[in-house]
């Protein structure tokens, strides 16, 4: 059984979907802990499933590196097989990437390499494209530049707002994320090759 730590910053709706999937007896992975860089609303989903949580509050550290060292210490406590960034809105320090990649994956609300960064949905709308997408990638030292594990196109509709477009992207992200975690757990997807 693949053990998974999920890191979030916000509402954790994608986390919720992964928790729902992982609660099915036949799903080959289990979420063992949920961490965040702040008091994230998404902790409520972990609590609803009785999953432990930890917080490493970014604002309380003098540097990104110091924050990353504490994040590493927390992850060491749980020693998951896989770390999933599901809406963690922080760039990870190089030491965290070095310690966990390629067992460190991220969901992103755009069709990478298009529109990387913190505002993938807003940037796609601003660019006036007619389609964007959702991606699941391995985290590397760049900003959303790692190997792509799964992605899918999503149309931008006339009148879309950042919110309406993001809400259409998220269900696709959830499906891709759940499928990637399942394929990693079964060995169908080998992150080390």
Question: Contact residues for ligand GAR (CB under 6 A)?
Answer: 8, 10-15, 42, 86-87, 107-109, 118, 120, 170, 173
> Angle at CA 138, nearest 5°, toward 137 and 142?
95
CB of 162 to ligand GAR, least distance (A): 11
Q: Which of 108, 182 has the CB closer to ligand GAR?
A: 108
CB of 119 to ligand GAR, least distance (A): 8
Q: How far is CA 91 from CA 115, 130, 151, 179, in A?
A: 16, 28, 21, 24
Residue 45 falls in the annotated catalytic set: no
Which residue out of 108, 119, 163, 166 is catalytically annotated?
108
Three-state helix/strand/coil letters over 33-95: EEEECCCCCCHHHHHHCCCCEEECCHHHCCCHHHHHHHHHHHHHHHCCCEEEECCCCCCCCHH
Rounded to a whole number of angstroms, the minimum distance from the CB of residue 147 to ligand GAR is 16
**Dist CA 193 CA 190 (whole Å):** 6
Closest distance of CB 12 from ligand GAR, Å? 5
Specify whether the CB–CB gap between 181 and 18 falls below 8 A. yes
Q: Which residue is nearest to ligand GAR (CB)?
A: 87
- Nearer Cβ to ligand GAR (93/120): 120
User: Of 62 and 153, which CB lies nearer to ligand GAR in the complex structure?
Assistant: 153
Please say which residue, 14 or 184, places its beta carbon nearer to ligand GAR: 14
Active-site positions read 108
């Amino acid at each position: 059984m693949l053990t998974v730590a999920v890191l979030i910053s916000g509402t954790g709706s994608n986390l919720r979907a992964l928790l729902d999937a992982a609660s099915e007896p036949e799903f080959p992975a289990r979420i063992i802990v949920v961490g965040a860089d702040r008091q994230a609303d998404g902790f409520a989903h972990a609590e609803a499933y009785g999953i432990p949580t930890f917080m490493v509050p970014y604002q309380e550290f003098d540097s990104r590196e110091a924050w990353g060292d504490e994040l590493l210490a927390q992850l060491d406590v749980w020693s998951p097989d896989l770390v999933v960034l599901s809406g963690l809105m922080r760039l990870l320090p190089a030491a965290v990437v070095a310690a966990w990649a390629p067992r460190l994956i991220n969901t992103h609300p755009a069709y990478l390499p298009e529109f990387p960064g913190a505002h993938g949905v807003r940037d796609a709308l601003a660019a006036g494209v007619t389609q964007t997408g959702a991606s699941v990638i391995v985290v590397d030292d760049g900003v959303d530049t790692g190997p792509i594990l799964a992605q899918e196109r999503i149309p931008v509709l006339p009148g879309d707002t950042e919110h309406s477009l993001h809400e259409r992207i998220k269900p696709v992200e959830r499906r891709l994320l759940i499928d990637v975690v399942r394929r990693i757990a079964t060995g169908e997807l080998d992150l080390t090759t």
